[in-house]
Amino acid sequence: MTTPHAAGYAMPAEWAPHAGCWMIWPERPDNWRLGAKPAQAAFAAVASAIARFEKVTMLVSARQFANARARLPAEVRVIEASTNDAWMRDVGPSFLLGPDGALAGVDWPFNAWGGLRGGLYFPWDLDDQVAVKVLEVERARRFRAPLVIEGGAIHADGEGTVLVAEQCVLNENRNEGITRAVMETMLREYLGATTVIWLGQGVPGDETDGHVDNLACFVRPGMVLLSWCDDPADPHYAVSRDAEARLLAARDAKGRALVVERMPMPTPMFITAQEAAGVDATASGMNRAAGERLAASYVNFYIANGAIIAPCFGVATDAAAHGVLSRLFPGRDIVMLPAREILLGGGNIHCITQQQPGG
């Protein structure tokens, strides 16, 4: 079977020009509190902000179609499609471009972040079909990958380097018996990665088992932004130091040493009793208990054409995060949006968006 690499395709960096952005409308009440109404408002704000810079398509269930259409600006394209939840980064295709600019996408097998070994919900069959549906709409070539992985578990610099975290992509709950060598071969064959940089653990408490997109991201080739913690009493302290040491020891696909920029982690935040009470109790793996620490990070942002769409939380560290983003992305508008409602669902702005490259 031909792989994308053999056919001349590779994954562009997120800062390469986009044809648009894909999202999914949230509704499941065992993940999103109060019947997902506050989350829907947050998703609509994200979609509206991105739509100022590029085209946005929102997938929505038949049940929610009229509501989503009414709450989203006219320029957002709304398409009916069934899903299990709303994490387009993870269930959508990772888009690729061919040497002639042809669009294709990797269709990763999806098991709800761990299947029956700690996954977050069952079933996940509709989510597993999202990449197929998106690629059908775009009439783009689809490559079904042989191993489970999610889009949030990878970051690409567009020059052959891919960033991953061991905790997630070597997790037995994704691929039993997986080895580093097998994963590297898959990342080469499906994304065009000639160099894989391995971080260790993800942000503590991240229910994806440590997606890299909550911990670190490329700013440009040769530069990585890392969510950083200065408090030795915080579990993220050791995680961020380990990640920085690995990044500083690494060489990218072009043989460069990396510049590592530190992004302060947000002031610690916890689920309130009122928020926890708003989530339906079910047999899913998504437990929401009052007092639980939220896996917050400012690096979980989306790079749009001409803008950075980043989370803020109404806490003291928001201003510093804005400063870091303004300094590192001087040519882009920095748009920070209240994202606590997305965070309460277990992810953030990068997790709910998926860029489609192209002019």
- Would you tell me which residues interact with ligand KQY (CB under 6 A)? 31, 87, 89-90, 120, 152, 207-208, 211, 286, 345-347, 351
CB 353 within 8 A of CB 91: no
Q: How far is the CB of 341 from ligand KQY (least distance, A)?
A: 13
Q: How far is the CB of 42 from ligand KQY (least distance, A)?
A: 14
- Catalytic residue status for 229: no
Which candidate in 168, 217, 312, 351 is catalytic?
351
165: burial class by Cβ within 10 Å (0-12, 13-18, 19+)?
buried
Distance, CA of 203 to CA of 210 (rounded, Å): 6
329: burial class by Cβ within 10 Å (0-12, 13-18, 19+)?
buried
Distance, CA of 214 to CA of 218 (rounded, Å): 12
Closest CA relative to residue 118, chosen from 224, 37, 208: 208
Cis peptide preceding 4, ω within 30 of 0: no
Residue with smaller CB distance to ligand KQY, 31 or 195: 31
Residue with smaller CB distance to ligand KQY, 112 or 253: 112
Q: 81 phi and psi, to 5 degrees? A: -160, 135
Residue with smaller CB distance to ligand KQY, 258 or 343: 343
Distance, CA of 165 to CA of 175 (rounded, Å): 15
Distance, CA of 250 to CA of 238 (rounded, Å): 18
Q: How far is the CB of 31 from ligand KQY (least distance, A)?
A: 5
Q: How far is the CB of 194 from ligand KQY (least distance, A)?
A: 25
Distance, CA of 94 to CA of 88 (rounded, Å): 10
Sign of CA dihedral 295, 197, 145, 173: negative
CB 39 within 8 A of CB 342: yes
Residue with smaller CB distance to ligand KQY, 160 or 311: 311
Give the total residue count for the chain: 359
Residue with smaller CB distance to ligand KQY, 266 or 346: 346
Distance, CA of 185 to CA of 194 (rounded, Å): 9
Residue 28 has which token pair?
Answer: 């499941």
CB 283 within 8 A of CB 231: no
Q: How far is the CB of 204 from ligand KQY (least distance, A)?
A: 14
Q: How far is the CB of 346 from ligand KQY (least distance, A)?
A: 3
Residue with smaller CB distance to ligand KQY, 12 or 152: 152
Active site residues: 351
